[in-house]
Amino acid sequence: MEVVVVLAHPCADSFNHAIAARATSALARAGHTVHLLDLYALGVSAAMSPAEREAYHTDQPILDPLLAEHATLVQRAEALVFVYPTWWSSLPAVLKGWLERVMVMGVAFRFNDARKVRPALGNVRRIVGISTYGSPRIYVKAINDNGRRILLRAFRLNTGWRTRTSWLGLYAIDTATTEQREAFLAKVDQRMASL
C-alpha cells in the first residue's frame, strides 16, 4: 500500500517526530511504500496567498510546485497518516494551511454535472490520526477534539464513507512518564505494522 505520513511539528527533537519515525518504520517493515512529509522541515507556509486564493477555483488551483508534488502523492495514496500536536484545541496552523492549499478542487473533491460536490480521493482506504495533547482526555472530549473532527469527519467526506479511520491520542503529555511515552510508541508501532 502507498502511505503518506504528514508530520506537523516544528522541533526535530519533539515526541511527535519520534511518533512519525516509529510510524514510518513500522509501515515500511510491513511492506508499504511510505512518503514522509515533514511540513516544517519542508518550509510549508500555513498562509494561502492572494494569488492562490485567486487560483482556487481555476483548473490550476495549486501554484506552489512543492504542494503540487504533495497533491500528486495524495492522489496516489491508499492511506494517509497525520501526526501532530493538538494546539488550541485543533490542528497546528501549518497542517490546517496545508489542507487548505493541497486539498483543492481536482485533488480532494470535484463537482458533478449538477454542480454538487463529490469525493475525488476514492483511492484513500485508510485515514489515521495520531496526536499529542497537553490536556487530559476528559478535557479534550469536553471541547470536541476539533482536529480529530476535521480529519476523521470533514476530510473523510473527500474519500468516501467506506474509508476506515483510526485515532491514537497521547493525552496529558506534559505529565506523561517515560514508560507512558514508550508504551504509546509501541502502540503506534503495532497499529502501523497491522495497517
Q: Which domains does the chain have, with CATH numbers?
A: 2-193 (3.40.50.360)
SS3 of residue 62 by DSSP: coil
Judged against a pLDDT cut of 90, whether residue 165 lies above it is answered with: yes
pLDDT at 190: 98
Judged against a pLDDT cut of 90, whether residue 121 lies above it is answered with: yes
Compute the average pLDDT of residues 10-29.
Answer: 98
Beta carbons within 10 angstroms of residue 110's beta carbon: 14
pLDDT at 178: 97
125 band by pLDDT with thresholds 50, 70 and 90: very high
Q: Return the bridge partners of 81, or none.
A: 5, 128
186: burial class by Cβ within 10 Å (0-12, 13-18, 19+)? exposed
Compute the average pLDDT of residues 120-144.
Answer: 94
pLDDT at 143: 87
Assess contact for 47 and 99: CB atoms under 8 A.
no
Whole-number Å distance between alpha carbons of 83 and 37:
10
pLDDT at 145: 94
For every residue of 99-149, DSSP letters joined together read HHHHS-BTTTEEE-TTS-EEE--TT--EEEEEEE-SS-HHHHHHTT-HHHH
73 band by pLDDT with thresholds 50, 70 and 90: very high
The pTM assigned to this predicted structure is 0.96
Residues whose CB falls within 8 Å of the CB of residue 52, separated by 6 or more in sequence, listed in order = 61, 62, 63, 64, 101
